[in-house]
Amino acid sequence: MQIYFSTITECEVFAGLKPEEQLRAEKLFTTKRCIDVTSDIAKLAGSIRRDQKGKGRKLKTPDALIIATALVNNLIVVSRDADMSFVQSELEVPLLKI
């Protein structure tokens, strides 16, 4: 199974790293595995945030960008965030909870 990451995920992981974990993370997050945020992804993320706000759900921009990246690239969202549970039922994005 091939694993890809949004550049947003890359940012979130690197923000929480201990200095001794830096090199290991750099090997994991290569340019071949990271998907950049495009204008189409950004627009879709904005629409997702707006729609979710209309349903009373607060969706953070990074999460919306990750969801939009998965939608545009037909990927599975892997998350341990309970707030992401709606993606499968409402947006038909496959979700793997860890």
- Give residue 83's pLDDT: 86
Q: What does each C-alpha distance from 57 to 31, 74, 81, 90, 92 come to in angstroms? A: 33, 24, 14, 12, 17
Confidence band of 52 (pLDDT split at 50, 70, 90): very high
How confident is the model over 21-31, as a mean pLDDT?
A: 92
Q: Which fold has domain 5-97?
A: Rossmann fold (3.40.50)
Confidence band of 1 (pLDDT split at 50, 70, 90): confident
Domain assignments of the chain as residue spans, ordered by start: 5-97
Residue 31 has pLDDT above 90, yes or no: no
Nearest CA among 94, 59, 60 for reference residue 79: 94
Residue 9 has pLDDT above 80, yes or no: yes
- Give residue 53's pLDDT: 97
- Give residue 6's pLDDT: 95
